[in-house]
Structure 1
Amino acid sequence: MEYVNTLTGLRIDGRLPNEMRHIKGELGVVASADGSALFEMGNTRVIAAVYGPREVQNRSSQTHGQALVRCEYSMANFSTGDRTRRPKGDRRSTEISLVIRQTMEACILADLMPHSQIDIFVQVLQADGGTRSACINAATLALADARIPMRDIVTSCSAGYLCSTPLLDLNYAEDSAGGPDVTVGILEKMDKVTLLQMDAKLPMDIFENVMQLAIEGCKAVADYIRNVLLENTKELEYHRGA
């Protein structure tokens, strides 16, 4: 399959190599949660719910002087065309849960909430590539909705290398093509990379180009998320004043 048209320079879904899919975020989608969000990257849809800060349920797992952050990742059975049921707690889900938790810990001011825990639940409703990034972006919005203190918002995006071309924000077909891809998470204002995962080796010069492309994607997501949070704040203030 030709993933980048040599004549037009367009990808199989009509995007330019450095063009992201449409992104969309919505707050307060789970009424029972302290904070929640829906985040879409193209056809990938993820929902995140945050509970806490609340009292630590298991004293033995309490961390000294700071909040305990827990994360659980799952995929809805209908999220992909694959009919195979994955058992809860399978290896991939456990690994992605850990990645999300560690990425969120980099932005949460856990020392301001000692003797408490924060639970983050993330579920993929529809998978079409970039699910890890979408999960992180959804979790960031949900944490903000829960008014969890953060040093900065953390955002994520992926980029890959197909047909000798760096490609931003891979969809499922591109992600499944077997080329190298890089998933990055950043704290934009702090100019700090909090997540870097690569599933294959790349020459250093190409790797730097692909990683920089992913970082630009992260920055675009950060701008969008800040706008979502700003609009939400304006709406809350409007309703308070009404």
Structure 2
Amino acid sequence: MSDKPEKLIADDGLRLDGRRADEIRPMKIEIGVLSRADGSCYLEWGRNKILVGVFGPREAHPRRTQRPDTAVIRYRYNMASFSVEDRARPGPSRRSIEISKVSREAFEPVIMTELFPKTAIDIFVEVLQADAGTRTAAINASSIALADAGIPMKGLITSCAFGKVDGQIVLDLNKEEDNYGDADFPVAMTQDGEITLLQMDGHLTPEEIKKGLELVKKGCKEILEIQQAVLRKKFETPVEEPEGEAAETAEAENKAVEAEASIESSSKTVVVEELIEEAEEFKEEISEETVLAEVCSAEEISDVEELKEIIEEAETRSGEDILEEVIEAEVEEEAEEEAFEDEAEFEASFEASFEEVSEPEEVEELEAEETVSGREETEFESEDFTEEESQLEDEGGSEEITSEEAFESDLEIESEAKSRKELSAEETVEEKAEETGEKAEEAGEAEEEKSEGPWKVVKDPSEAGSRGENNE
């Protein structure tokens, strides 16, 4: 081991490695260095050299270590025997077990273990060269390796330490400051500033702890930017601009392409211009007389002249005259359409009326039969009651009048039915329906008068009593 230096911080405020109190050591990160691991990272922080490999999620063995609702995080921190000046004893030690425990707990809040029940996520950390702050360096490298493995996380974990050296709070202790300083305070936190790891070795006042935490937040912010830049570099594929000779060759190629394009475009323009000139010459050669001679034969010349006259007349006419003719043509078309619709309606109504005409004839036949039966009944009643007819001659006269009227109405109905058959097809259905309805009403009234008989004529109750006495 090297001897203790006289001063860890010089009079000008610089530390032994030339840093100021609030500066971190330079950091170098590489991703994907192990082909067999799901995610890996190699980190150099100062003289620290850390290698991390992540495996999983995979089935947890032995099975008794499985959890039914979440994944198990297993973190193994190990220092190689050649990582320090004095040979380290290989295998786990109390220190390595303690660092493994606190580092695992630092990742538990951000890893989404609930997505992978009954599985295990193994993180293996190997310290190849130690120079103070190995646990914080291992946490930074493990965070990148987990992201490289595609493990779902709420965010990256960053870690840094502060300490007390020569009575002054400094950030990111190196080996001499860690060995001969007054205190060491490692911290790990999330992107949002939540602390997931907090340890202290030494003696610090509350004011010194507050000051040191402010320095740690600044250092963790710088480390986070480095981590994000490294991950973007791997998972993004930016287009690199050509440099040097490559740039010159690219420019030459672009110029050549532009020249070819310009040549092609110029040749095309020349061809187009030539075609246009030829078309104009061809148009000049062909006159109107030649066109007429080619299109029209000797017999069609007269028709062409007539067409010319019509065109001239149309040109001389004003726009108002043309509009009036167009409006008149439209009005005539509408009138023709309405007349056609009226004819169609008339034909449909005529067919319906023809079907309805047959029904009134059947009604008239039935009415005639009913009138005949009514006459027979009246005659039968007149024979049975001859005495009553003698007493009621006046009333009988009225009954005969009604029967004669009914008979005349029947004759009129028959004659009208015959005349209805002889009606022309031009009569409308509505007139026929009205005539048939009126005739049916008259026939119904006549039947009612016939069916009533002589008993309806009686108006005086005394006459009805006398008629009963005569019957007795």
Name the aligned partner's letter for residue 111 of structure 1.
E
Written as runs of structure 1 = structure 2, the 5 A alignment for 1:198-217 is: 198-217=200-219
Alignment correspondent of 1:184:
187
Q: Secondary structure at the residue paired with 1:183?
A: strand
Instruction: Give yes or no for the alignment of 1:163 onto 2:174.
Output: no
1:230 pairs with one of 229, 232, 240:
232
Alignment correspondent of 1:4:
9
RMSD of Structure 2 on Structure 1 (CA): 1.3
Written as runs of structure 1 = structure 2, the 5 A alignment for 1:90-129 is: 90-129=93-132
1:22 pairs with one of 23, 26, 36:
26
Query: Offset of 1:65 from its aligned partner?
Result: 0.8
- Rounded to whole Å, the distance in 2 between the matches of 1:64 and 1:177 is 48
Query: Offset of 1:229 from its aligned partner?
Result: 0.6
Q: Secondary structure at the residue paired with 1:159?
A: strand
Name the aligned partner's letter for residue 201 of structure 1.
H
- Rounded to whole Å, the distance in 1 between the matches of 2:69 and 2:173 is 40
Q: C-alpha deviations, 1:180-208, integer Å up to 9, x for none?
A: 121000002x3210011111231111111
Instruction: Give yes or no for the alignment of 1:78 onto 2:82.
Output: yes
Alignment correspondent of 1:148:
151
Q: C-alpha deviations, 1:81-136, integer Å up to 9, x for none?
A: 012x3241211111111111111212211111112110000011111111010000
1:55 pairs with one of 59, 67, 70:
59
Name the aligned partner's letter for residue 189 of structure 2.
I
Kept in 2, the 8 Å contact 1:180–1:202? The answer is: yes
Kept in 1, the 8 Å contact 2:81–2:90? The answer is: no
- Rounded to whole Å, the distance in 1 between the matches of 2:107 and 2:141 is 11
Name the one with the larger helix percent. 2
Kept in 1, the 8 Å contact 2:51–2:125? The answer is: yes
Query: Offset of 1:164 from its aligned partner?
Result: 2.0
Name the one with the larger strand percent. 1
Q: Secondary structure at the residue paired with 2:36?
A: coil
TM-score normalized with structure 1 length: 0.93
Unaligned runs of 5+ in 1: none
TM-score normalized with structure 2 length: 0.48
Q: Secondary structure at the residue paired with 1:191?
A: coil
Give the ranges of 4+ consecutive aligned residues of structure 1 lying more than 4 Å apart after TM superposition: none
Kept in 1, the 8 Å contact 2:103–2:197? The answer is: no
Query: Offset of 1:24 from its aligned partner?
Result: 1.1
Q: Secondary structure at the residue paired with 1:142?
A: helix
Q: Secondary structure at the residue paired with 2:158?
A: strand
1:138 pairs with one of 130, 135, 141:
141
- Rounded to whole Å, the distance in 2 between the matches of 1:183 and 1:215 is 12
Kept in 2, the 8 Å contact 1:184–1:218? The answer is: no
Unaligned runs of 5+ in 2: 1-5, 240-472
Q: Secondary structure at the residue paired with 2:226?
A: helix
- Rounded to whole Å, the distance in 2 between the matches of 1:234 and 1:41 is 24
Name the aligned partner's letter for residue 57 of structure 2.
P
Size of the alignment, in residue pairs? 234
Kept in 2, the 8 Å contact 1:182–1:214? The answer is: no
Overall identity of the aligned pairs, in %: 42
Q: Secondary structure at the residue paired with 1:205?
A: helix
Q: Secondary structure at the residue paired with 2:34?
A: coil
Query: Offset of 1:19 from its aligned partner?
Result: 0.8
